[in-house]
């Protein structure tokens, strides 16, 4: 009995380190970090370059500057913690730390913004807290329409993604207090097409809080109450629309984000993902929000 227990206790230590490293490379970064706590042999195997190279994109040497001399684990962590500007600065790329899945943010300059090049309606500014050279500040429009797209081949396969508008509310933001916006995400491919699911969401955080606590209607100006809620009922009655959802969440970097929708990127699937945010029905003027871009990252389970 004692001999059997001794064999069981030394079983892992008796395995070749390369065998363990090869097995770890078939898991995920999260699993490797967990397995490294099992014993000293596992901890040593978890540091092998062969393990972490499996989690890196094939062209990582073109993405990470001065990667020579670094371990593959260091390169992986750098790509997780420090997004890299690509596509002439119009996109940002990084890896999801727990899964190694590819993530992107499309800069405002990479989006299609109606009247975006008309200074009367939009202006392009530089702010230190943005990862891109320019962001789009809404001056004033009554027709708000922002669209983006990305090729599915750039993304990790067999992965459920979500897209988020990343923005700020300036002190002078106005026009979003009583008017939700429509957001959607759709996947179009050679063999598969997913119809966009339209949602209505609030960009103004206080408006979303009032709606969530049932105080939204009471807070509306009396002369606007019927018109706005007639529109909301009209939106909710559409087959491909939903009632207003909870508003934006504050990110660790200080920006706000609102989910536009989600999609599944299958294996070997070629196509494009289309994302949009628009408010074209209220007829009211609005301004003040600052758009950094649209972020595409794996959907949290």
**Cβ atoms of residues 30 and 99 within 8 Å:** yes
Q: What is the pLDDT of residue 16?
A: 85
Which two three-digit tokens encode residue 168? 């700020």
Higher-pLDDT residue of 197, 41: 41
Q: What is the pLDDT of residue 219?
A: 46
Contacts of 50 (CB under 8 A, 6+ apart): 21, 22, 25, 72
Question: CA-CA distance, 8 to 5, in Å (whole number)?
Answer: 5
Higher-pLDDT residue of 209, 7: 209
Q: Calculate the average pLDDT of the chain.
A: 83
Q: What is the pLDDT of residue 212?
A: 59
pLDDT(223) > 60: no
Mean pLDDT of 43-57: 90
Question: CA-CA distance, 286 to 71, in Å (whole number)?
Answer: 50
Angle, CA of 213, 218 and 222, to the nearest 5°: 155
Q: Which residues pair with 162 in a beta bridge?
A: 262, 297
Q: What is the pLDDT of residue 137?
A: 97
Contacts of 129 (CB under 8 A, 6+ apart): 253, 254, 255
Which two three-digit tokens encode residue 94? 């990084």
pLDDT(88) > 60: yes
Alpha-carbon torsion 178, 203, 163, 87, what sign?
positive
* pLDDT band (50, 70, 90) for residue 59: confident
Which two three-digit tokens encode residue 105? 């943010």
Mean pLDDT of 121-141: 97
**Cβ atoms of residues 198 and 240 within 8 Å:** yes
Tens of pLDDT, residue by residue over 251-263, are 999 999 999 999 9
- What the chain holds in terms of domains, given with CATH numbers, is 12-81 (no CATH), 101-220+243-298 (2.60.120.260)
Q: What is the pLDDT of residue 205?
A: 77
Tens of pLDDT, residue by residue over 96-126, are 999 999 999 999 999 999 999 999 999 999 9
């Amino acid at each position: 009995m004692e001999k059997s227990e001794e064999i069981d206790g030394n079983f892992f230590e008796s395995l070749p380190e390369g065998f363990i490293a090869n097995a770890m490379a078939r898991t995920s970064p999260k699993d490797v970090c967990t397995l490294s706590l099992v014993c000293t042999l596992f901890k040593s195997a978890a540091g092998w370059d062969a393990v972490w190279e499996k989690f890196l994109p094939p062209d990582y040497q073109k993405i990470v500057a001065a990667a020579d001399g670094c371990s593959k684990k260091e390169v992986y962590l750098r790509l997780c913690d420090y997004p890299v500007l690509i596509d002439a600065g119009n996109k940002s790329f990084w890896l999801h730390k727990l899964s190694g899945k590819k993530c992107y943010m499309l800069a405002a300059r990479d989006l299609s913004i109606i009247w975006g090049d008309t200074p009367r309606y939009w202006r392009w500014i530089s702010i230190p807290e943005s990862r891109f050279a320019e962001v789009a500040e809404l001056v004033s429009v009554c027709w708000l329409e922002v669209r983006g797209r990305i090729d599915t081949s750039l993304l990790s396969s067999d992965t459920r993604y979500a897209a988020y508008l990343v923005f700020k509310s300036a002190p002078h933001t106005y026009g979003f207090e009583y008017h939700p916006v429509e957001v959607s995400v759709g996947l179009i491919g050679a063999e598969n097409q997913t119809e966009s699911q339209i949602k209505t969401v609030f960009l103004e955080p206080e408006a979303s809080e009032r709606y969530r606590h049932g105080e939204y209607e009471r807070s509306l100006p009396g002369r606007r109450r019927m018109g706005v809620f007639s529109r909301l009922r009209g939106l909710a009655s559409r087959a491909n629309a939903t009632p207003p959802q909870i508003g934006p969440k504050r990110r660790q970097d200080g920006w706000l984000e609102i989910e536009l929708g989600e999609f599944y990127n299958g294996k070997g699937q070629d196509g494009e993902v289309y994302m949009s945010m628009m408010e074209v029905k209220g007829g009211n003027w609005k301004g003040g929000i600052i758009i950094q871009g649209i972020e595409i990252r794996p959907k949290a389970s």
